[in-house]
Amino acid sequence: MRRLAEARQPLWRKLPVPSSQINPYRIVIVLRLVVLCFFLRFRIMTPANDAIPLWLVSVICELWFALSWILDQLPKWSPVTRETYLDRLALRYDREGEPSRLSPIDFFVSTVDPLKEPPIITANTVLSILAVDYPVDRNSCYVSDDGASMLCFDTLSETAEFARRWVPFCKKFAIEPRAPEFYFSQKIDYLKDKVQPTFVKERRAMKREYEEFKVRINGLVAKAEKKPEEGWVMQDGTPWPGNNTRDHPGMIQVYLGSQGALDVEGHELPRLVYVSREKRPGHNHHKKAGAMNALVRVSAVLTNAPFILNLDCDHYVNNSKAVREAMCFLMDPQLGKKLCYVQFPQRFDGIDLHDRYANRNVVFFDINMKGLDGIQGPVYVGTGCVFNRQALYGYDPPRPEKRPKMTGLLGFYKKRGKKDKLGGGPKKGSYRKQQRGYELEEIEEGIEGYDELERSSLMSQKSFQKRFGQSPVFIASTLVEDGGLPQGAAADPAGLIKEAIHVISCGYEEKTEWGKEIGWIYGSVTEDILTGFKMHCRGWKSVYCTPTRPAFKGSAPINLSDRLHQVLRWALGSVEIFMSRHCPLWYAYGGRLKWLERFAYTNTIVYPFTSIPLIAYCTIPAVCLLTGKFIIPTLNNLASIWFIALFMSIIATGVLELRWSGVSIEDWWRNEQFWVIGGVSAHLFAVFQGFLKVLGGVDTNFTVTSKAGADEADAFGDLYLFKWTTLLIPPTTLIIINMVGIVAGVSDAVNNGYGSWGPLFGKLFFSFWVIVHLYPFLKGLMGRQNRTPTIVVLWSVLLASIFSLVWVRIDPFIAKPKGPILKPCGVQC
């Protein structure tokens, strides 16, 4: 009885931030907003008459910064944390000795170029998926190879063979993590909590087998670096269909999951499927978003699990119970039907101890995302996310039924009519009778046997072809509410593979709603933001799951150039969304998107535009030092109070935010520094590139090319790797002109005596503020040998010199004389 009562308990609970921590935080936010209003009023009402242009630019920048802070701060008003109960989930759905009732799940892994995305990393991701702590008959893994690479194909073949030994080893000894590369490289006591006498022997043997597996993969990579003139040839002597990566048919290969694919102990293994969608010249394939939509359709035809977990090829499963963590929310009787996805935080391996370029993004994942979880849910960040398949199909979430006001037969039919309609499309569970078969013709043949209301529902199936495409098998799968193949479909495996090839053809999505209302949404290089935004607009909720052991871990670029290039891509996607019809500023006001959630999405697409006022504000201190002018007139006592109050409120907000979130002050400071570094470089380029791309149709690509190698003996050799990119020029120029300004300002004060030092301190403070924030960038330029590449120095010195010379020539702050020019004539007058 006690276990039965335990099984009926909630599978999760919400843990709000304690009032002793959140209430002071909210009070300080309100006080800071009040102080900010008075400060801005003072700045607007007291212009610097001797430097009107500088004053005007600075005030405009400060107004934009204030708006940006409000958009960022308000969604963090009610942060929450959630706790799951895996034992209750097991008691309810996965009791020992009984068939598991846990929902099936399909894993999606996406890769494009195996020479840039090492195959051994992709293999480790796949192995960690196959070994998760989840029923094998309810776990399938689909790998999308969007580069149609024979190297990826052969790597998966080797991975499937190695999995027959690796998976039982993981489950027998309950090891973590279940990616062999990262398990064997752990610097911990691997004997802790291990009691089986055979563990050491079997671990040693497994490590040897993994090293042999790595050697085989390295051999495949070496072979792939030299492509034969006649193209690749498969083992049976036939040409590889993907020799032309831009013109090839669709390919599907099922490695595991079929009869006979058992591990070395005779147990069944999860299904592993290789997918490479068809590509032809003249078709827009929509990059990653298109590849993910192809996987949605293939998986619906072959397995049709109700939930989908997508991972990048370099993100492995670090917590084998991660799927169970997500199921505590998705299988909850009350909350589960309302959830479009469960998002996990991104965690990373291989980052330097001090996280010089804020790769961990701790402030976003541990502060902003928890704030959003208290509103309508976190945004989708592209990986480590478990989707409700029905939400991807563009359905609306179920609404609570209202008590009918009408009685009798008319009221009954009105109630039925409301049930059978959902957002202009079919409701998830309203077509049970169609599940007897999967051919549309069969559905239409049975129309005479139903009443008028049911006949209209069945006839609406024809509109499904315009919505989902010309595949009766896929359409039938969308009507199965709890997942699984429609009845009769599983009896013809060869027919399912043929249909799966059909749904990944390059013309399948034409004249359908794929990428518009269904699946991953097209229109931006950051398809993740758009996809989650559309779901939230329909009224779906999302949940942020933060287990004690990180669910997934990935790799991040740790050198300066690659990091800036990554940030450039994200910012460019935000600019594209801003200039599209999906912009949160004007999209879906009639929907069910909450206002604070809209503020958060608005902030995600306008933040690149902060680069323009930011670079102007970082230039102003140098200009003030070079000209002797300042943006603020002489301060009186009241004005000094507002300045002090503003700085104190900024410090208090940061301290209290760190207190309730648990983020370290070092992580917070690194985030502040990289906000400036990315703002004056990648974000600025993204704004101009976005305008060129959207308005002018010019697709400018800032390519990062390698200029130096790294010391492979150093674990963080890439940290010192330099790659030339134009993104480095603006920050370097800012550092130089601010340093020149400091030298000029101090020299002027020395020459003019004691009275000049007072006004100088305010200017020096702002200039040092710029340099301190750009310090990690400066270290990145210096590299291991503390040397800056010549090309960066030349460009930056040139720009700084031109700016200084132009300024001296124009000098707008010197009053131009009117009338005749008088010159001193000395004794000759």
Q: Can you give 206-233 as a three-state secondary structure string?
A: HHHHHHHHHHHHHHHHHHHCCCCCCCCE
Residues 6+ apart with CB under 8 A from 311: 107, 108, 109, 125, 129, 317, 383, 384, 552
Sign of CA dihedral 12, 13, 14, 20: negative
pLDDT at 367: 93
Q: Is 714 annotated as a binding residue?
A: no
Kindly state whether residue 159 falls inside one of the protein's structural domains.
yes
CA separation, residue 284 to residues 78, 277, 287, 510, 570 (Å)? 42, 13, 8, 10, 21
CB 572 within 8 A of CB 689: yes
359: in domain? no
The strand pairing partners of 142, in sequence order, are 108, 273
594 labeled binding residue: no
**Is 565 inside any structural domain?**
no
Instruction: Considering the candidates 145, 154, 314, 528, report the single residue annotated as catalytic.
Output: 528
pLDDT of residue 705: 34
What pLDDT is stored for residue 551 in this prediction? 93
Specify the pLDDT at position 807. 57
User: What per-residue confidence (pLDDT) applies to 405?
Assistant: 52
Q: Which residues of the chain have pLDDT under 50?
A: 406-453, 455-456, 459, 702-714, 785-786, 829
Which position has the token pair 């300045």?
A: 643
811 marked as binding residue: no
User: Which residues form the domain of 237?
Assistant: 105-305
* Torsion angle of the four alpha carbons 235, 236, 237, 239, in this order, in degrees rounded to the nearest 10: -80
Phi and psi of 493, rounded to 5°?
Answer: -60, -40
Rounded to the nearest 10°, the torsion over CA 555, 560, 565, 571 is: 90
415 part of a folded domain: no
CA nearest to 239, candidates 113, 143, 150, 115: 150
CA angle 268–271–277, rounded 5-degree value: 165
Task: Identify the active-site residue in 106, 146, 373, 396.
Answer: 146
Q: Is 116 annotated as a binding residue?
A: yes
- Please indicate if the annotation marks 287 as binding a ligand: yes
Examine residue 289 and state whether it is found in any structural domain, yes or no.
Answer: yes
Residues near 798 by Cβ (< 8 Å), separated by ≥ 6? none
146 is catalytic: yes
Give 686-725 pLDDT, tens digit per residue: 998 888 877 776 665 544 333 333 343 345 556 556 566 7
Question: Within a domain: residue 822?
Answer: no
CA distance 293 to 310: 11
Q: Is residue 134, in this structure, part of any structural domain at all?
A: yes
Q: Binding site annotation covers 454?
A: no
Cβ neighbours for 106, distance < 8 A, ≥ 6 positions apart: 140, 141, 142, 299, 303, 305, 307, 308, 309
Parallel, antiparallel, or unpaired for β 316-317 and 139-145? unpaired
Q: If we measure between CA atoms, which residue out of 346, 371, 126 comes closest to residue 256? A: 126
Q: What is the pTM of this model?
A: 0.84
What does the alpha-carbon distance between residue 237 and residue 363 come to, in Å, rounded to a whole number?
54
Q: Which residues pair with 342 in a beta bridge?
A: 386, 543
Cα four-point dihedral sign 298, 299, 303, 306: negative
pLDDT for position 632? 81
Q: Does residue 221 fall inside a structural domain?
A: yes
Q: What is the Cα–Cα distance from 283 to 795, expressed in whole angstroms?
A: 40
Note the pLDDT of residue 787: 54
Q: Residue 328's pLDDT is what?
A: 94
- What is the Cα–Cα distance from 586 to 607, expressed in whole angstroms? 17
Cα–Cα dist 657/75, whole Å: 13
Tokens for 290? 């298109």
Q: Tally the domains of the chain.
A: 1
Does 146 count as an annotated binding residue?
yes
